[in-house]
Amino acid sequence: MNAQSGTFACGVGSAEIVRQVLDNLLEGCQVIGPDWTYLYLNEAAAAQAQLPKEQLLGRCMLECFPGIEETPMFDVLRRCMIERRHDRMQNEFSNPNGTRGWFELRFVPLADGVCIMSVDIALKPDPILVQKKLAEEQVRRAAADHNLLAEVGAELASTLDYDETRQNVAVLAARVLADVCILEEIDDNGDAQRPKVVHRDSDASLADRLEQWLLDSYRLGASVLPTRERLLLNELPAGYLESLARNDEQRRF
């Protein structure tokens, strides 16, 4: 098999027939060499990986998908490669763009590697599997919430100093929930106080500049304090921060 063209090294006529059959399968088909290099992929397998075939053929799958060697799928693949036996499994795959998919995988040992046949089961999920994953996700979220509440409780109990408590909670929020945490409060007279900004990477200089920017040009409390509800921004639209800048220095920042 040629790693670049993805064609079989057999008779011309039979090679063309095999290639056409594999290329047009609705199932994903990929052949992995002993060195974990992609020797062949059909269009269905490339679509499932959400990457062009050209970015995978001839490349090591460990380079294409960092961390894949730590997954249960790779354990099965390694066992099939070594022991030369068939296997199958249902696998959750994380795509490079952050999305996830569920696939039924069949592993078939070949003379020069392992063939993996994959079927997207997202459209026809196993009800038992779906319920199991939902239950696992609920347990995971409950554990995460419990751990977060425990950490918040520990921070609140660690000191009676208000400023230190506010700092600790902001650090915890930035580490668990987002990249940057901005806390703003009002005093007994209803006046907004200096905002507290914490960056998850402990970038004090960035946080200090952002605090000054908020003082000079933008009051987050205009939208947060009246409602008493948190504001969580998953991402900032293009040009959003630039639209808030009041001068060239802030635009550069």
pLDDT at 94: 75
Which residue in the block uniquely carries the two structure tokens 């929020």?
173
| Mean of per-residue pLDDT scores for the chain | 75
Residues written for the chain: 253
Question: In 10 A of CB 50, how many CB atoms?
Answer: 12
Q: Are strands 100-110 and 180-183 parallel, antiparallel or unpaired?
A: unpaired
Measure the CA–CA gap between 104 and 102, rounded to whole angstroms.
7
- Give the ranges where 57-106 is alpha helix by DSSP (H): 61-64, 72-83
Fill in the amino acid letter for 72: P
Tell which residue, 74, 121, 116, 82, has the closest CA to residue 101: 121
Predicted TM-score (pTM) of this structure: 0.45
Distances 205 to 150, 188, 212 between C-alpha atoms, Å: 30, 30, 11
pLDDT at 231: 61
Radius of gyration of the chain, Cα coordinates, nearest whole angstrom: 27
The reported pLDDT for the residue numbered 42 is 92
Phi, psi dihedral angles at 192 (to 5 degrees): -70, 135
DSSP code, position 122:
S
Structural domains for the chain: 12-120 (3.30.450.20), 159-252 (no CATH)
- Which stretches of the chain drop beneath a pLDDT of 70? 1-14, 96-98, 122-127, 129-130, 173-180, 184-187, 190-196, 199-246, 250-253
Give DSSP secondary structure letters for 19-43. Answer: HHHHHT-SSEEEEE-TTSBEEEE-H
State whether the Cα torsion 167-169-175-181 is positive or negative.
negative
Given this model, what pLDDT does residue 106 score?
94
What pLDDT is stored for residue 153 in this prediction? 79
Q: How far apart are CA 96 and CA 77, in angstroms?
A: 20
